[in-house]
Structure 1
Amino acid sequence: MKLPRKQSTSSRTLRTVLPVHVRTIFSSSTIGLDNFKLAREQYVSHHSPSIDGFKKRFLDSVNKPDAQIFTEDLRNMIMSADSDEEIDAVIQALRKYNSNKLKFTEYHFGSPIMRLLYIRNKPDLAMKLFMDESLKNIFNDSGSALILLNKLVEDKRYDDAIKIFEYGMQRGFSTTSGRAYPTDAVILVVEALYRQNTKQSLAKAKELVTKIIERDADINPRTAAMIALLAIQHNESSFAMEIIGALRSPNLTTIQNIRAICYAEMGRAEEAINVVHLLADQPPIDNDYRRVFPLVLQHIKKVVEKSKDEDLKTRFEDLSKFVSENNRLSTTDLSDFLNEPISRRPAIATGRLGVQQVPFLRQQRNR
């Protein structure tokens, strides 16, 4: 089938259909969206005199069965595609390119394609490509999974996010770090399970964390926190306690707050009060006095109110007063804190004309 050609786009700014006010699990810079969009704008600006001719030749190459797709051409078309027809051409070219046995480059197209489909709001197409066995060598890297999972969770398509991760687990992720389950992708699938908040999602989370610990030895604190809160919501505080106990950094403020909730839920109010007291009594770090989440005090209060121990009630009243008067109570509660976007790494390395360089792609695959 021949692809229709689109009229000149070089005089216009590349369009994106990414919603303006959308919360992303990982910040747009972390998954490379900001720099990807900037690189596309720079590419079009630098090549505006010749971009229409390039697109015409590219479409001709796609429509000719015996025409070769060159790495540079496919990369440049990803940087300039601005219509559904042109994106379809990129995908067809990718299939032809992937079937070519003769390649002399390490450039990996998985993440750039996923970013293109992200900003064009095409998660269904992204899922289809990710699960296409003929393209598994293109999209089996953890960076591709991270970008797709982030989009699905952002769109509240939790079942699809879980489906993609389970498919990736079965097929295997390509990571240079040697981890069987890439850390960032695990955070996102656990986010999906946490937001589903069902007994079934808790069961899946248990199964997943068991596999992670067996293969990769440790879990991320944010992952552990979400699983623990999910367990607490379904009256499994003992499991939550075991999860946070498996962390290499058990003294993080968030984890200590969850530990206090677990103690309270298990009827060990005095130990819960001790944990919160230690948290509140520590000197502030970077002028942040807010160490105790309101949810924790709510759980302890519920247990204390049922107790006949007056000393325990007095201790809790004193603790609540100390936390309040010394500005140790967080204005953001625990669940909202866990929902805050993750932003940590430089987003992307750019080379000439802002085009993506391979080192960034390798960096994402390390996770």
Structure 2
Amino acid sequence: MNIIMKTVSRNYNVGLSPIRNIHITKVQYLYSQSALGVDSYLNTRKKIKEQFAQFSENFKTKMNDFVQNPNHMIFTEDLKNMVHMAEPSDLNVMLEMIKKFNTQKTEFRFGSFVFGPVVMRMFYFLDAPLEAIKSFEDPANDGFYDQLITYQILLDLLYNHAMYEEMYKIFAKIQERQVNMTKYPKYPVVLVLAACYKQNSVQSYEYAKKLWNEMMQVGSIPLRRACTLMAALALKNNEPHVALECVALQTPHYLTIRNIKVMALSKIERIDDALPILRGVLDVDSPKMEKHTFFEETISIVKEAVNKSNNKDYAKEFTDVEKALRDRGLVDSQTLDKLVTSEIILSPKVKNPVRGMPRMPFGQRQKTRNMS
């Protein structure tokens, strides 16, 4: 609810109408609004709404007439303004405007404005997953939404609504289109694996494993969050050996990787390999004084494995390491589940751009680092 109220408050603060459907259930966002470009959409929306403050209704009425009249065209500026002014009651008109804009003759269209991401941010802001799917799947809109960031925004919107089956169907269409010559786009893959993790059914786990195996066979390198989601899902399904393979190329420097490795090794009774990882953080000398911690649940899993082994040497070493970890405050109550589904914030790397220099398109300037 804190996330929801923060979003609603921010929308009111910028002079906008609140999102159409406020979820009263606990909604978990995967990508932050800034990562999806929604914040920049809101800024532009605010400016255009102020610009059209006195005659927005007249403009909307005119656009409705243009949609109905085959003799009128929808120009780039018309669609751009409407996308930033639309309210929930305008969604049907928007669907028709998008279709007409994409299918009308283009010999007079000299601009190269890419609408897919902006329109999808509008659907995201208006909390309209069904309309977003309808527009995305409409054959009349062929090519309109073929941008990787657009796929990411759509899948994230569906994830927010726990529309996991719809996510799998959309991802299949994304793979067929192979934008930028990729069948496994990194951020959409993260979202689909997050859906599998949340759904956690026999079918979703098999789907995730099939997808993962296909990626490995073609040499596709997944993001770290994709690795941790797949590994955590494998642990949920009592396949620690799969979890280990998913994080095999990752280093224990990262919190999620470190805990997953120890959990998985303990579950396959490789205690002699798990204990050195536990002990290893005691020797970390970080200049930033960062604590390399373990989850309480990780310690419990190791303890259970040690007790089950009936090995006195393991028991003594574990007791000593656990005491040292707790004495140094290196055991916390955070859980793997909470961490792998935590919000992802992607920060663009900007190196002192020249003053007055136009900003690059979102897809080009989002050279990001996964913060999971």
Amino acid of the structure 1 residue aligned with 2:143: N
Q: 1:312 aligns with which of 299, 314, 320?
A: 314
Aligned position for 1:148 = 154
Whole-angstrom distance in 2 between the partners of 1:222 and 1:277: 25
Q: Cα distance, 1:366 vs. partner?
A: 10
Q: 1:345 aligns with which of 347, 354, 365?
A: 347
**Partner SS, residue 229 of structure 1:** helix
Aligned position for 2:183 = 180
What runs of 5+ residues in structure 2 fail to find an aligned partner?
1-14, 351-357
Structure 1 residues 232-241 or 309-318, which shifts more?
232-241
Aligned residues: 344
Alignment of 1:78-93 (within 5 A): 78-84=83-89, 86-93=90-97
C-alpha spacing 1:71/1:216, structure 2 compared with 1 (3 Å): farther
Does residue 142 of structure 2 align to residue 139 of structure 1? no
Aligned position for 1:227 = 230
Could you report, residue by residue, the CA deviation over 1:183-234 in whole angstroms, capped at 9, with x for unpaired residues?
A: 1111111001011122322211111112223345311111111111111222
TM-score (norm 1): 0.85
Alignment of 1:1-367 (within 5 A): 13-17=16-20, 19=22, 22-84=27-89, 86-102=90-106, 103-169=109-175, 171-175=176-180, 178-215=181-218, 217-247=220-250, 249=251, 251-284=253-286, 286-346=288-348, 359-363=361-365
C-alpha spacing 1:362/1:66, structure 2 compared with 1 (3 Å): farther
C-alpha spacing 1:292/1:83, structure 2 compared with 1 (3 Å): closer
Whole-angstrom distance in 1 between the partners of 2:366 and 2:92: 26
Task: Assess if the C-alpha contact under 8 Å between 1:98 and 1:135 holds in 2.
Answer: yes
Q: Cα distance, 1:166 vs. partner?
A: 2.1
Q: Cα distance, 1:101 vs. partner?
A: 3.8
Whole-angstrom distance in 2 between the partners of 1:229 and 1:89: 43
**Partner SS, residue 245 of structure 1:** coil
Whole-angstrom distance in 2 between the partners of 1:144 and 1:18: 21
Aligned position for 1:3 = none
**Partner SS, residue 179 of structure 2:** coil
Structure 1 residues 44-53 or 142-151, which shifts more?
44-53
Could you report, residue by residue, the CA deviation over 1:329-354 in whole angstroms, capped at 9, with x for unpaired residues?
A: 13322221112100122599xxxxxx
Amino acid of the structure 2 residue aligned with 1:266: I
What runs of 5+ residues in structure 1 fail to find an aligned partner?
1-11, 349-355
Task: Assess if the C-alpha contact under 8 Å between 2:158 and 2:164 holds in 1.
Answer: yes
Task: Assess if the C-alpha contact under 8 Å between 2:194 and 2:229 holds in 1.
Answer: yes
**Partner SS, residue 138 of structure 1:** coil
Structure 1 residues 16-25 or 122-131, which shifts more?
16-25
Amino acid of the structure 2 residue aligned with 1:39: T
Task: Assess if the C-alpha contact under 8 Å between 1:55 and 1:77 holds in 2.
Answer: yes
Structure 1 residues 140-149 or 65-74, which shifts more?
140-149
Task: Assess if the C-alpha contact under 8 Å between 1:30 and 1:347 holds in 2.
Answer: no
Task: Assess if the C-alpha contact under 8 Å between 2:152 and 2:187 holds in 1.
Answer: yes
**Partner SS, residue 168 of structure 2:** helix
C-alpha spacing 1:207/1:117, structure 2 compared with 1 (3 Å): same
Task: Assess if the C-alpha contact under 8 Å between 2:20 and 2:88 holds in 1.
Answer: no
Q: Percent identity?
A: 26
Amino acid of the structure 2 residue aligned with 1:96: K
